Structure 1
């Protein structure tokens, strides 16, 4: 079955949210997660929703690679959504948008 444009946009938005949360998680220190209740709650949610990705982020062997991959995916999904919403020129002007 062929997806509609809106179905594709919805799927891209889900991926954007996933990678936004993973990039957010990677930017938090262990101290922030341990001492700030709101950060701890959100970090627990990310860990619950994306256990394999969080394990990879916390790996001394793969953590940097995983964070780079997540950041690239976040930038890519935002580029596509911005291009569809505001046009390709506007998307290039704000690319890569990694604010989270």
Structure 2
């Protein structure tokens, strides 16, 4: 990653090859997770199980936590972390914005 200074301030520009490699890792691991869930009949939003968007978000969090990890490490961490996840807690890719104003207040 290199840093560029411009009129808009400091920008970070990632190497396109690194970004492509990380994207391919994400897709490959996502295919494995989906295959695992489908084989165990756990891949269905209609039946109350996790579906495509859910797995995308969950794996996105793992990729944020381990940005330089191999595919095998991402897959291992996916199952390690989510096997002990406190499920009432949401999976968040960024911090939630909490607006403390009452609902009837003027914007």
TM-score, length basis structure 1: 0.34
Larger Rg: 2
Larger proportion of strand: 2
Q: Which one has more relative contact order, counting CA pairs under 8 Å at least 6 apart?
A: 1
